[in-house]
Amino acid sequence: MISKIIEEDIIDIVSEFRGGLKGLEGKTLFITGGNGFLPSYLVDTINLFNREITKPIKMVIMNKNYITEKSRLSHLRDNSNVLFIQGNVGKRFEVVGKPDIIIHAASRANPTSFLENPIDTIDANVNGIRTLLDYAKDNPLENFVFFSSAEIYGNPIKEFIPTPEYYTGNINCLESSACYTESKRLAETLAYTFFKKYNVPVKIPRILLAYGPGMRSDGKVVSDFFERAIKDKEITLRDRGDSTRTFCYVKDSARAILSIIFNGKSGEAYNVSSDFPNETISILGLAKMIANIVDKGVKVSPKEKAVKNPPYGIETRQVDITKLRELGFAPKISLKEGLLRLKKHYEEFSNNS
């Protein structure tokens, strides 16, 4: 399923990266988790660009679940340049299609899912990338892209905010969310090791808080707040909402990843986020912004008396994207504009249901 807002985003991405995409003509990509929120933007971008070239870019897309009429990429089920295969990256699987490029994007990426399925979360990140790296070792590739996460930094100390790629992290490995953060860290280590030992051309985007059209209501704060505002006319917070975050509109996240694919250096990680001035926002501030965008009558209810264990480090997610900017990237969409575009996306699907 694709909305007018997504189509507008994809057209803009193609216009910017036409030169890089031209270099993919006639090649094959193997993409794990391609039906997911962010990778689906890359799939749609390539699909649109295929209309301009004589030798189409082929995509083999592996997903844990079958693609149905309600799936994000349902509009590509009969596309001759796209092959969907069902498989679990946490278990043994075969790489199909003799790809020139591998994009490993399959992972549980929301708190609800990885807290309910911690072992599966670890397997998808660690076993999945090991299978793909073993393939790449014996079958030379042009690019190997691993979707990591800026969550691997944990709660940085104040000297490392915004957080650069060389920050080593502040993570408690004996907590529930460590199944995600620590398996992403180990997956990065595996990727780097295969780069050094076997020259596998790995590039690692560390993605931070992407949001926008196509995101599921699955425990992420933006989608949860929109759902509560629309359905309940009230956004209830779990605490005072003091912790801060920097969010990145999905089109900008996709643009950043393409910049890394076409211009990044193998063996390196790049933070993927927005750095619009003054856009790091508290969770309470985000709730108020979404409430105002959805309906000025939506109530925001923080829990003023909530008691939290004080974290070691600063409870924020804000990264330094200097390395990414050096590749030619600059964010285009502010938080308010991105949330307004997400609202239009919701409205289109609501009117069509």
Residues in the chain, total: 353
Residues 82-104 have pLDDT tens digits of 999 999 999 999 999 999 999 99
Q: What is the pLDDT of residues 279-302, one digit of tens each?
A: 999 999 999 999 999 987 899 999
User: What pLDDT score does 312 carry?
Assistant: 64
Q: How far apart are CA 238 and CA 302, in angstroms?
A: 7
Beta strand segments in the chain, E: 28-32, 58-63, 82-86, 101-104, 143-146, 148-149, 202-207, 210-211, 234-236, 244-245, 248-249, 268-272, 281-282, 299-301, 316-317
216 versus 103: the higher-pLDDT residue is 103
Q: Name the residue with tokens 């425990």.
A: 219
Residue the block writes with tokens 């990885």: 114
- Supply the pLDDT for residue 216: 82
The predicted-structure confidence for 147-192, as pLDDT tens digits, reads as follows 999 999 999 999 999 999 999 999 889 988 899 999 999 999 999 9
End-to-end CA distance of the chain: 12
Model confidence pLDDT, tens digit, residues 7-38: 999 999 999 999 999 999 999 999 999 999 99
Higher pLDDT, 112 or 340: 340
pLDDT of residue 116: 85
Average of per-residue pLDDT across 317-323: 96
Residues of the chain with pLDDT > 90, as a percent, come to 79
Confidence class for position 261, pLDDT limits 50, 70, 90: very high
Of the chain, the percentage scoring pLDDT greater than 70 comes to: 97
Is residue 108 scored above 90 in pLDDT?
Answer: no
DSSP string, 313-333: S--EE-B--HHHHTTT-----
Asked whether residue 203 carries a pLDDT value surpassing 80, the answer given is yes
Which class for 168: exposed (0-12), middle (13-18), buried (19 or more C-beta within 10 A)? exposed
**Which domains, ranges and CATH numbers included, belong to the chain?**
4-210+249-275+312-333 (3.40.50.720)
- Calculate ∠ Cα 267-271-272, nearest 5°: 120
- Report yes or no: 106 and 37 within 8 Å, Cβ to Cβ: no
Work out the average pLDDT over 103-128.
87
For the segment 44-61, what is each residue's pLDDT rounded down to a tens digit?
999 999 999 999 999 999
Q: What is the pLDDT of residue 109?
A: 74
Angle between helices 250-263 and 39-49 (to 10 degrees): 70
Cα dist. 171→18, 149, 165, 246 in Å?
40, 13, 15, 19
For residue 337, give every residue at least 6 positions away whose Cβ sits within 8 Å of its Cβ, in sequence order, or none: 249
pLDDT of residue 49: 98
Strand partners, 245: 281, 317
Maximum CA extent, the chain: 63
What's the pLDDT band for 75 if we cut at 50, 70, 90? very high
pLDDT at residue 315, as a whole number:
85
